[in-house]
Structure 1
Amino acid sequence: MTFVPSALLALFALTFCGIWGACRVAVPDHKCDFLLIYGAAFLVFSMALFSQVASLPPGVASNAMVSGSLYVGACLLLARGVLERSGSTLPAAFYPTAFFAILLPTAYFLYVDSNVIVRIYLLNFGMGAIFLYLAARANFLRRGTLTDRILFWLIVALALHFFLRTLLTVGSVTAIEHLPRAELIKDFGTTSFWNWSKISVALLGAAVGLGLLTVSGADIIMALRSERDTDPLTGTLNRRGLDSEFPRLLAKSSMSPVSVIVCDLDYFKSINDTYGHAVGDSVLVDFAELLMSSVRPTDLVARIGGEEFVIVLAGMTIQNAYSFAERIRKAVQDRRFDHVDAGQIITCSFGITRYRKNENIWGAVKRADGILYAAKEAGRNRTYAEGMQRPFAA
C-alpha cells in the first residue's frame, strides 16, 4: 500500500496524456495542450511522493531537497495548465521566482540552521500560496460556465488544504523536534503530520484528478458540440446550431419581444462568377464578421445556406430591429471588400418579422424570408419589415 498513492497519481498522468491524444484526433482545432501540462504535473507529483516514501535519493538532506523541488515544480505545472486551458498565463518570471523563493530558504534551514518545523511551513505554505495566487489570477472562472466554476473551487480547496493540514498536524512534529537527529528521523514517519500528508495527497490528488478529468471531458464535449453547431466558413451558427440555441434565447427573453431577420447579399452569384469562389467566400466571411460584431452577446447569428443569414434579436421590437438592419445595410453598402474592384458596390437586403409565441423558429424564418423576397422583388438593397410601411428605395 505504500506506493499506491504515487501509482494513482501516475495513472492520472497517463490518463491526461491519453485524453490529449484523443482530443487531437476528435477535435483538431481545439486547443488541448493544457492536458499534457496536467499530465506532467501529476507525473511530477507522483515522483515527489515516491521519492519521499522510497527514500530516494537516500539521505535526509538530499531527499528533502529533491522531493521538495518536485512538489513545488508540480504545483507550478498545474497552475500553468489551469491558466492555459483558459487562454491565460502567469508572468514568465513568476515560475522561477516562486520556485527559488520556496527552495532557497528551505535549503538554508536544512544545511545552515537545521529546523524541520520551519521547513514544513515553508514548503506547505509556499505550495498553498501558489494556488491562492492562481485562484486570484483565475478569478474570472467564477463568472464562467459550470465547469469553470468547478475548476475555480478545486483550486481554492487545494490551496486551503495546504494551510489547514499543516496547522492541524504540525504539532505532532513539534513534540519530537527536540530529539536527537537520528531519533527525529525515525519518529517522523509515525507523526500525524506525515500520515495525514500521505492520506491527503492520495485523497485530494484523486479528487483533483477526477475533477480535472470531469472538467476536461466537459470541455471536449462542448468543443465537439460547437464544431457540430458552427458554420465552418463564417464561424456563425449553422441550422442545427440555431435550432439548439434558439430555445435558450427564448428562455431568457420570455417576457420580451423577439425579432427575426433574414438577410442575404444581393447578386452574390455574380461575385462568384466574376472573381471566383475564393473571393466569394472572403466576402461572406467579412459580411458574417460585420453581423456578429453588430449584435449583442444575447443575440444569435446563423448562416442557413449560401449567402443567406438569420439574425435573432432578443428583447427588440420590429421598429428597433428595422433600425438595426438599416445600419448594417448602409455599412455594407459603404464597405470596400478585399479582392473586389474598388468601384463595385456590394449590397444586401433584409426581411424582418416578429417571433410569435409558441412558434417554431423556422416558421418565423419562413415569414421573414417571404418579406426578404418582397424586398428583392422591389429592387434589392433595402429593408422590409412586417407591419411597417415599406420604403420605395434605399
Structure 2
Amino acid sequence: MSTGVYFQLMNPLVFGLFSLGFLGIHHMRPSKSTLVISISYVVGAIAFISDLIFQDSTLLITRVPIAGLYAITTCMLVAALFLHYRGKAPWTVLGGLLVVHLAIYSYLMAIEADWIRSFSANAGCGILASIGLFAFRGKLDRTLDRVTFSILALCCAQSFIRPAIIAVLASGPLTNANHSETTFIFAMHFVVGACAVTMGMCLILVFSQAIFNDLRNNSVTDVLTGINNRRGFDEAGNLVLQNSAAQPVSLILADLDHFKSVNDNYGHAFGDGVIASFGALMGDYARFGRVAGRLGGEEFGLLLPGVPLSMAAELAESIRRRFAAANIQPGEPHDVLTASFGVAQYKKEESLSQLMTRADQALYRSKDCGRDRVTCDTEIPDTAAEPTQNMYPATSATVQKLPVKYG
C-alpha cells in the first residue's frame, strides 16, 4: 500500500473522530446543530472511503454518488452553522443547489469534459459552502466567530483556486483516464482534509463556548424568575459601579408584602407564580444596561445606571402600581398583592453593599410606614449623618442567601 493511500485513509479516520467529538458535545448540550454536524462528518468519512475505493473508476454510476456525498457533507455543515447562529437552516435552498450541482456534474461526466468536470465538482461544493457565510451575518462580535467565518471563507476560496492551480501545473491534460494518477487526488484529499480539520476545531471551540456560557448563565440566573440571582446581581452591579464615571446610578430594592401569608393561604405553587410574575416585571425594566436580580426569597433589586434618585423613585412607583394591578392567576380570587420599595442613589467611592444597605434602610422605612409604598433614603432623618452599617456584605463566588426580614 502506497504512502498516498495511507495518507488518504487518514481523512476518514479524522472525520470519524470529529463526528464522535460533536456527538459527545450533543450529549452534553443537545441541539440540532451539533447533531447535524456530527452526521456531516460521518457522511464526509464515507465520501473519502468511497473515493479511495473507486478512484480509478470513470463510470457515471460511481463518480456521481461520490460527488453527491461530498456535496451533502458540505450542505449539512452549512445547515449546522445556520442552526447554531440563526436557529433555522435553509434546507430548501441547499437542496435546490445540491440538485443543480449534481445535474451539471453528471452532464460533464457524460460528455467527458475532463478538467471542467473536476472543476465543477469542487466549485459546486464551494458555492454550497459559501451559503454558510450568510449564517454569520450580524454575528461577528466575538473573536472566535470571526475566526470561524474567515476559515470558512478560505475553504470556499480554495474550492475554486486549487483545481485551477492543479490544472495549470499538471503535466498534460486532466482526463477521466489519468484523473487518479495526477496530483489532483492527493491535493484534494490534503487540502479538503486540512480545511475540515481546521473548521472542525473552530466549531468544537464555538460549541464548547456555548456550553460554558450556559453553565455560567445557570450559575448567575434565578431559575424561577429568569433574572439574575444574588451572585449575578453582585457581579453585574459591581461592573456597573466601576464603569459609572460621572453618571448617576440608583438602586431600587423591593420586598413583597406579607409573602408568608400568601404561601400559607394560597399554597406554594401560587407563591411561586407571584415570585415569577414580580421577577418578570422587574425584568421588563432591566434594559439599556440596567440590572435586575432576585436577591433572596421575595426580595428583589434593580440597579439603574444613568438614572438619578428622583427618576428611580418614579420607576419604583410605576412597578408598585403595576404589581398591585397584576392578575397572577386569572379566575382565581386572591387578596391584592403589594410590595414595598426602598430607593438610594450611589455615592462616590461607595461599594455596592453600602449602596444596598442605604436602599435597604429606605425599604425598612416603607415597611414601618404601612407597606405598599416607595421610600427614598433621603427621606430618613439623619441618614447622611449616621455611619452606614453594612447589612449586605459583599459576596464571593458562592451565592449568599439573605434572611427573610420583612414579611
* TM-fit CA distance, 1:329: 1.5
Match of 2:11 among 5, 10, 22: 5
**158, 161, 186: which one aligns with 1:164:** 161
Q: What is the letter of the counterpart of residue 162 of structure 1?
A: S
2:251 and 2:346 in contact (8 A); partners too: yes
Output the amino acid matched with 2:181. Answer: G
1-side partners of 2:205 and 2:345: how far apart?
A: 41
Q: Give me the whole-angstrom Cα distance separating, in 2, the residues matched to 1:266 and 1:160.
A: 64
Secondary structure class of the residue paired with 2:140: helix
Q: Distance in 2 between matches of 1:123 and 1:255?
A: 61
Structure 2 match to 1:190: 182
Q: Supply the AA of the counterpart residue of 2:150.
A: W
CA spacing shift, 1:8–1:305, aligned 2, 3 Å: same
**Contact kept in structure 2, 1:128 and 1:163, CA below 8 Å:** yes
Is the contact between residue 129 and residue 152 of structure 2 (CA under 8 Å) also seen in structure 1? yes
**Mapped partners of 1:104, 1:117: distance in 2:** 17
Partner of 1:64: 63
Cα 1:155–1:255 change in 2 (3 A) is: farther
How much has 1:251 moved relative to structure 2? 4.8
Distance 1:100 1:318, change over 3 A: same
* Offset, 1:252: 4.4
Contact preservation (8 Å) 1:303, 1:309: yes
Q: Is the 8 A contact 1:258 1:317 kept in 2?
A: yes
Q: Which amino acid aligns with 2:335?
A: Q
Name the aligned partner's letter for residue 374 of structure 1: R
User: What RMSD, in angstroms, separates the aligned Cα atoms of the two structures?
Assistant: 2.5
Q: 1:166 to 1:380 in 2, by over 3 A?
A: farther
Aligned equivalent of 2:42? 43
- Please point out which of 125, 129, 149 is paired with 1:152: 149
Q: Which deviates more from structure 2 when the two are superposed, residues 126-135 or residues 49-58?
A: 49-58
Match for 1:119: what amino acid? R
1:275-286 matches, within 5 Å, as 275-286=266-277
Query: Displacement, 1:307?
Result: 1.0
**Aligned-pair distance for 1:316?**
1.7
Decide which moves more: 238-247 or 98-107.
238-247
Distance apart, 1:285 and its partner CA: 0.9
Letter aligned with residue 122 of structure 1: S
**Contact (CA 8 Å) 1:37, 1:80: kept in 2 or not?**
yes
The answer to whether the 8 A contact 2:115-2:173 is kept is: no
Partner of 2:123: 125
| 8 Å CA contact retained: 1:352, 1:385 | yes
- Structure 2 distance, partners of 1:340, 1:173, is 80
Of residues 323, 328, 342 in structure 2, which corresponds to 1:332?
Answer: 323
Partner residue in 2 for 1:349: 340
Match of 2:208 in 1: 217
Give secondary structure in 2 for the equivalent of 1:387.
helix
Q: Does the Cα contact within 8 Å between 2:252 and 2:302 map onto a contact in 1?
A: yes
Identity of aligned residues (%): 27
Distance in 1 between the 2:72 and 2:169 partners?
Answer: 27
Amino acid corresponding to residue 375 of structure 1 in structure 2: S
Q: 3-state DSSP class of the match of 2:378? A: coil
The runs of 5 or more residues in structure 1 that have no matched partner are: 25-30
Task: Give 2:280's aligned amino acid.
Answer: E
1:134 equivalenced with 2:132 (yes/no): yes
Asked if 1 retains the 8 angstrom alpha-carbon contact of 2:255 and 2:341, the reply is yes
The equivalent of 1:97 in structure 2 is 96
Deviations 1:161-180 (A, max 9, x none): 32333443343469414x6x
TM-score, normalization: structure 1?
Answer: 0.87
Of 2, 5, 21, the match for 1:15: 21
Contact 2:80 2:89 in 1 (8 A): no
Secondary structure at 2:235's aligned position in 1? helix
- Contact 1:131/1:155 (<8 A) preserved: yes
Q: Which moved more, 1:371-380 or 1:349-358?
A: 349-358
SS of the aligned residue for 2:222 comes to coil
In structure 2, the CA distance between the partners of 1:389 and 1:356, relative to structure 1 (3 Å rule), is closer
Separation in 1 of the partners of 2:331 and 2:254? 21
CA contact (8 A) 1:37 1:77 kept: yes
The Cα of 1:158 is off from its aligned counterpart by 2.7
Equivalences for residues 190-209 of structure 1 within 5 A: 190-191=182-183, 193-209=184-200
Measured in 1, the distance between the counterparts of 2:154 and 2:376 equals 55
Gap runs ≥5 in structure 2: 1-5, 382-407
Provide closer, same or farther for how the CA distance between residues 116 and 249 of structure 1 changes in structure 2, counting only shifts above 3 A.
farther
Q: 1:387 aligns with which of 364, 378, 382?
A: 378
Would the alpha carbon gap of residues 378 and 5 (structure 1) be closer, same or farther in structure 2, given more than 3 Å must change?
same
CA contact (8 A) 1:141 1:152 kept: no
